[in-house]
Amino acid sequence: MALTTIRKSGLATGVGGKVLQVKYTQFTGTSVVSLQANTDTVLTDLTVNITPTATNSIILLQAHVFGEHSVANQNQWSHMFFFYRNTTKLAHSTSGSRIVGISMAMSTYTSDNDSTPEVARYDYFDSSHGTTSQITYKVGLNSHSAQNWNLNRTNGDTDNNQYERGISFISATEISA
Pair 23, 50: CB distance under 8 Å: yes
Give the per-residue pLDDT at 13. Answer: 46
Query: Coil, strand or helix: which one is 11?
Result: helix
Give the per-residue pLDDT at 131. Answer: 98
Burial group, residue 126, by CB count within 10 angstroms (0-12, 13-18, 19+): buried
pLDDT(174) > 60: yes
**Percent of the chain residues past pLDDT 70, beyond the cut:** 84
Decide if domain 16-175 falls under CATH 3.40.920.10: no
More confident: 78 or 60: 60
Q: pTM of the full predicted structure?
A: 0.87
pLDDT(37) > 70: yes
Stretch (H or E) spanning 160: none
Give the per-residue pLDDT at 9. Answer: 44
CA atoms of 106 and 95, how far apart (whole Å): 23
* CA atoms within 13 A of residue 10's CA, in its CB half-sphere: 9
Pair 168, 65: CB distance under 8 Å: yes
Give the per-residue pLDDT at 104. Answer: 86
Mind listing the pLDDT tens digit for each residue in 101-110?
Answer: 999 887 765 6
Q: Show the DSSP H helices in 5-148 as ranges.
A: 10-13
Structure confidence at residue 88 as a pLDDT band (50, 70, 90): very high
Give the per-residue pLDDT at 12. Answer: 42
Quote the DSSP letter at residue 16. Answer: S
Question: In b/e form, how buried is each residue of 129-152, taking b as 16+ CB within 10 angstroms?
Answer: beeeeebebbbbbbbebebbbbbb
Q: Where are the domains of the chain?
A: 16-175
Residue 8 neighbours by CB under 8 Å, 6+ apart? 16, 17, 177
pLDDT(128) > 60: yes
pLDDT(11) > 60: no
Give the per-residue pLDDT at 76. Answer: 58
Give the per-residue pLDDT at 105. Answer: 85
CB atoms within 10 A of CB 106: 11
**Percent of the chain residues past pLDDT 90, beyond the cut:** 66
Query: Coil, strand or helix: which one is 10?
Result: helix
How far CA 133 is from CA of 49, 60, 86, 124, in Å, comes to: 10, 17, 11, 20
pLDDT(79) > 60: yes
- Rounded mean pLDDT of 37-46? 96
- Rounded mean pLDDT of 63-72? 89
